[in-house]
Amino acid sequence: MQKIDPILEFVEITPTARIVPDEHGWRSKCLQRLIRLDLPVPKTVALPAATVRAIASGHVVNARAMLEVFGDGPLVSVRPSPANPDWGGPATILNIGLNDARHAQLALTHGEAAADALYVRFVQSYAIHVARLDPDAFEEIKPGPGALAEVLRLYRNETDDPFPQDPAQQLSEVLRSMARAWEGTSARLLRQVKGAPPEAGLGLVVQAMAQGIGQGISGSGVIQFVDPVTGLPQVTGRYLGQSQGRDALKTEAALYLTCDKRGPSLEEVAPELFAELLRFGAVCRQRLREEMQIEFTIEDGRLAVLDAVKVQRSVRAGLHIAVALARDGVIPPQEAVLRVEPRALSELLHHQVDPRGPRDVIARGIAASPGAASGKLVFTSDAAQASAARGEACILVRRETAPEDIRGMHSSAAVLTERGGMTSHAAVIARGLGLPCVVGASDMRLDMRERKLTASDGRVFHEGDVITLDGSKGQALAGVADMLPPALDDSFRQLLAWADAFRDIGIRANADTPSDAATARRFEAQGIGLCRTEHMFFEEERLVVMREMIFANSPEERAAALARLLPMQRDDFVQLFDIMQGLPVCIRLFDPPLHEFLPHDRDGLRGLAEALDRPLSEVTRRADALREVNPMLGMRGVRLGVVLPEIYNMQAQAIFEATIESAQRGAPIVPEVMIPLVSAKREVEMVKARIDAVAAMVRTHAKVDFDYKLGVMVETPRAALRAGEIAQHAGFLSFGTNDLTQMTYGLSRDDAGRFMNSYVQLGVFPEDPFHILDVDGVGELLLMGAERGRATRKDLTLSICGEHGGNPESIDFCRRAGFDYVSCSPYRVPMARLAAAHLALRDQASSR
Ligand code: PEP
Ligand code: MG
């Protein structure tokens, strides 16, 4: 017999007892709060982690003294209480203290059958969890006549001892087995996955059993007051008469809580008890500042609250609950904002498969772009376009996508590919378009010729069959799944409105097209931080004119082609300005090398020769002459603007004419014109002189005045270093961190993918610098450029517009560097707004 260690402490939970979450665990603390709220919690004792650790290493707690806290002949339960509920813990054990004598008493008060059932259940769980006997043999024994004798006989057979009759010995053994289970390797690994530190301890809670069986109304159940998927008010849960623990959740026979067509409910059977539960829920919400799920029992009409845990919730529900608590004055709006994780927002911007509905999975892959859509299967981009023309939603399935699939992707509701990863073509384009996308679904087989998809279980789906693609989970499902609409509801807007009030850095969107701009507006971006104009020239009718311009033999010919592009370009800007309604729009002048607009194969060149009415040989020769060995470092950006000034002249004219036209209809517009790829002050001087001249010409011609800003995109290291002198001619500097990263590292944006994984795996780079801003190197250039620019011009506007713009880490960096705004893709705007608010609120809290 081991010696009892008198120094092992435990404490009865009373309103004033010293209960510390880090020592006694979350459950003990929560129970103390419930006790302080005067809820009917049965008597409870808490064991701190130090005691439990000592028990695990062989010390013995004074279980008899502990049982004395509960009075005469108690039955108790033991539950785990780690510091964080997510870390789990060993299974709860109920009815400790039950022995032959107590069974006989119970048989008199509650009837033989009920007493037998409780005793059988206790012996079973003791045998399995404490004596560690074969679960199968014990679980086979079902309650009923003879079950008790059988379970006691089996216990004796397996252990060579009778079932222990001393309640103190039972409790001591239960505590020992739970303490040891927590120290086991698999339990340790499991909780570490959930974020527990290696030294995380376990508190335990010993509680008087509230029986849930009796002559009057008796039973047990759980109740919560919000829907776990939507977060909207809704009483859910179950109640089962003559039951214990979470039995009510395991059986069809359970009662509903509120009146329900499907069967009898607690509300009808015991309206006063139901009303009391509602009151408990309201008290918990108000005082614990959380939506709680309450575990309760009713013994002969008396309610007891055994436990309360935070309601499990989806992101959508979490957002709704936080906003509702703040609106009701339970928590301040700051706390509501901090309760929602910025990165989690992206799943709310799209349709989602309802997690409560059935899922018939036919393929699995990488969740490359969030959201879900249903539609008819199509296997080619042409079929996708035809389907869109018929007004039918379709899901485009390809082995992988290529640039020529972009129109097909535009026409589809979602995209599924057999190959590819997070940065494959399909994934990148789909994220930009906000389309759900699953890539690398290699467990399906595609037959592109027969146009059929064979699922891993052998089922075959043909073109026209309907499937659902879940880009958030990386799954394709058969048929039409139940959907939840995007959660851009009132709560979503309210949370972001609060976030906007707390944040101290602007958020704009990168938007090239009217549809991007509309998305930017929907997500309440404060303007467009980067409009890349080159995309506007890729449309079919414009491409032809563009090519005529490229092949022009003289400035006059070039000007004539550009004159045809002018109205189209003006129209683009009018649309953008109209949509943005006076919010700032920053337009970047033409950036890419010209050869990107030329056909790449012989057929294309022949077509071009026909369109231009020139010999094929001449067109081929001119195209070859335009090719560059290293185009990203060649004739692009401002260099084109200097050497072929007509292009920028046309664009400036289009911007200013659109400004006048759009301003006549709505809010005054001050367009921001941005020069890309600058490396020298002189480039800016030259372009600025010409743009000022175009502005003067447009003003004179239209007899209307307007204002505009001219700025520089800092994307070469030299521009960052010389920002001081460049700022003499620029009202704003916007850091293009894509090119700046490329040029700082000397790392090709287009080819780095080949070795980036190895580089990150080998720890050469901590992260891919094209995804996470390199604050040490590229960041130093940003700081230098910002400081030198502001030294020249105090009111210089500073921003960042590369892909990094939406990352919370980059926003943090830009805030600290005193930038005015970040600009990111429209679908990242909500996350950026929330992340910026988190940063500001955390700063405020730490400076208090
Ligand atoms: C950049 O270089 O960071 C940028 C935003 O421009 P682009 O990606 O168009 O080169
Ligand atoms: Mg760039």
Cα 746 to ligand 2 centre (Å):
14
CB-ligand 1 contact for 121 (6 Å cutoff):
no
460 domain residue, yes or no: yes
CB-ligand 1 contact for 738 (6 Å cutoff):
yes
Substitution candidate for ligand 1 out of 510, 588, 713, 740 with most atoms within 8 A of CB: 713
Q: Which ligand 1 atom sits closest to the C-alpha of 736?
A: 3
The domain total for the chain is 4
CA-based torsion, 632, 740, 774, 501: positive or negative: negative
CB-ligand 1 contact for 823 (6 Å cutoff):
no
Nearest CA to ligand 1 atom 8: 738
- Alpha helix (H) residue ranges in 746-820: 753-761, 778-792, 808-816
413 domain residue, yes or no: yes
Looking at the DSSP bridge assignments, the partners of residue 377 are: 395
530 neighbors 585 (Cβ within 8 angstroms): no
Of residues 827, 819, 824, the one with CA closest to residue 504: 819
Cα 428 to ligand 1 centre (Å):
15
The CATH code of the domain that includes 461 is 3.50.30.10
Q: How far apart are CA 655 and CA 346, in angstroms?
A: 33
Domain boundary among 297, 313, 329: 313
b/e 61-80 (16+ beta carbons within 10 angstroms → b): bbbeebbebbeeebbbbbbb
Instruction: State how far the alpha carbon of 39 is from the alpha carbons of 165, 276, 307, 308, 760, in Å.
Output: 33, 10, 10, 11, 54
CB-ligand 1 contact for 423 (6 Å cutoff):
no
96 neighbors 67 (Cβ within 8 angstroms): no
Cα 749 to ligand 1 centre (Å):
10
Same domain, residue pair 455 and 518: no
Tokens of 785: 């450029």
Q: How far apart are CA 514 and CA 577, in angstroms?
A: 9
Catalytic residue among 801, 814, 824, 838: 801
Cα 833 to ligand 2 centre (Å):
24
**195, burial (CB in 10 Å: exposed 0-12, middle 13-18, buried 19+):** exposed
Cα 692 to ligand 2 centre (Å):
24
Cα 637 to ligand 2 centre (Å):
8
Same domain, residue pair 238 and 183: no
Domain boundary among 417, 449, 484: 484
Same domain, residue pair 521 and 480: no
Angle at which helices 147-159 and 112-125 pack, to 10 degrees? 20
Looking at the DSSP bridge assignments, the partners of residue 305 are: 296
Same domain, residue pair 196 and 267: no
Rounded CA Rg of the chain = 35
Q: Which ligand 1 atom sits closest to the C-alpha of 742?
A: 2
Catalytic residue among 351, 425, 595, 838: 425
CB-ligand 1 contact for 715 (6 Å cutoff):
yes
pLDDT at position 34 is: 95
**DSSP for 430-498?**
HHHHT--EEE--TTSEEETTTTEEE-TTS-EEETT-EEEEETTTTEEEESPPPEEPP--SHHHHHHHHH
Same domain, residue pair 230 and 204: no
CB-ligand 1 contact for 527 (6 Å cutoff):
no
Q: Cα 637 to the chain's mean position, in Å?
A: 36
Question: Is 284 in the active site?
Answer: no
Q: Which ligand 1 atom sits closest to the C-alpha of 737?
A: 3
CB-ligand 1 contact for 299 (6 Å cutoff):
no
250 domain residue, yes or no: yes
Same domain, residue pair 569 and 692: yes
Instruction: Work out whether strand 585-588 and strand 672-675 pair parallel, antiparallel, or are unpaired.
Output: parallel
The CATH code of the domain that includes 240 is 3.30.470.20
Measured in degrees and rounded to the nearest 5, phi and psi for residue 523 equal -90, 10
Q: Which ligand is nearest to the Cα of residue 801, counting in written order?
A: 1
Same domain, residue pair 231 and 272: yes
CB-ligand 1 contact for 736 (6 Å cutoff):
yes
Same domain, residue pair 176 and 253: no
261 domain residue, yes or no: yes
Q: Which ligand 1 atom sits closest to the C-alpha of 676?
A: 6
In degrees to the nearest 10, what's the CA dihedral of 179, 182, 186, 191?
Answer: 180
Angle at which helices 645-665 and 555-580 pack, to 10 degrees? 30
Q: What share of the chain is helix, strand, coil (3-state, %, to 5)?
A: 50, 20, 35
Same domain, residue pair 654 and 789: yes
Same domain, residue pair 123 and 226: no
Q: Which ligand 1 atom sits closest to the C-alpha of 802?
A: 3
Other C-beta atoms closer than 10 Å to the C-beta of 602 total 10
CB-ligand 1 contact for 110 (6 Å cutoff):
no
216 neighbors 301 (Cβ within 8 angstroms): yes
Same domain, residue pair 285 and 412: no
Cα 608 to ligand 2 centre (Å):
29
Instruction: Provide block-wise average pLDDT over 10 residues at a time, the chain (848 residues).
Output: 70 96 94 95 96 93 93 92 91 94 91 89 94 90 88 94 96 96 90 89 94 78 91 88 68 72 79 93 94 91 91 92 98 97 88 91 91 96 92 94 83 93 79 87 92 94 96 94 88 97 97 91 96 85 87 88 95 96 97 86 86 88 88 93 95 98 90 98 98 98 96 98 98 96 91 83 92 95 98 98 90 97 93 97 90
CB-ligand 1 contact for 532 (6 Å cutoff):
yes
Q: Which ligand 1 atom sits closest to the C-alpha of 530?
A: 5
CB-ligand 1 contact for 90 (6 Å cutoff):
no
253 domain residue, yes or no: yes
The CATH code of the domain that includes 49 is 3.30.1490.20
Substitution candidate for ligand 1 out of 428, 532, 712 with most atoms within 8 A of CB: 532
Cα 398 to ligand 1 centre (Å):
28
Q: Which ligand is nearest to the Cα of residue 741, counting in written order?
A: 1
Q: Which ligand 1 atom sits closest to the C-alpha of 738?
A: 3
Cα 739 to ligand 1 centre (Å):
6
- Domain containing 133: what range? 11-208
Q: How far apart are CA 723 and CA 725, in angstroms?
A: 6
CB-ligand 1 contact for 739 (6 Å cutoff):
yes
Half-sphere exposure of 388 (CA within 13 A, CB side): 15
Q: Which ligand 1 atom sits closest to the C-alpha of 739?
A: 2
Domain boundary among 173, 208, 243: 208
Of residues 61, 50, 48, the one with CA closest to residue 20: 48
Q: Which residue has the tokens 């996508």?
A: 401
CA-based torsion, 211, 213, 218, 223: positive or negative: positive
Substitution candidate for ligand 1 out of 738, 799, 801 with most atoms within 8 A of CB: 738
Query: What letter represents residue 553's amino acid?
Result: N
The vertex-117 CA angle with 114 and 123, nearest 5°, equals 140
b/e 352-373 (16+ beta carbons within 10 angstroms → b): bbeeeeeeeebbbbbbbbbbbb
Tokens of 704: 């209307």
Cα 715 to ligand 1 centre (Å):
8
CB-ligand 1 contact for 717 (6 Å cutoff):
no
Looking at the DSSP bridge assignments, the partners of residue 353 are: 483
**57, burial (CB in 10 Å: exposed 0-12, middle 13-18, buried 19+):** exposed
Measured in degrees and rounded to the nearest 5, phi and psi for residue 441 equal -85, 75
Q: How far apart are CA 808 and CA 801, in angstroms?
A: 14
CB-ligand 1 contact for 636 (6 Å cutoff):
no
pLDDT at position 6 is: 62
Largest CA distance in the chain: 110
134 domain residue, yes or no: yes
CA-based torsion, 542, 545, 551, 556: positive or negative: negative
374 domain residue, yes or no: yes
Of residues 394, 346, 397, the one with CA closest to residue 370: 346
CA-based torsion, 769, 770, 776, 777: positive or negative: positive
Question: Is 801 in the active site?
Answer: yes
Q: How far apart are CA 592 and CA 570, in angstroms?
A: 20
450 neighbors 388 (Cβ within 8 angstroms): no
The CATH code of the domain that includes 744 is 3.20.20.60
129 domain residue, yes or no: yes
CB-ligand 1 contact for 370 (6 Å cutoff):
no
Q: Cα 497 to the chain's mean position, in Å?
A: 19
Same domain, residue pair 204 and 223: no
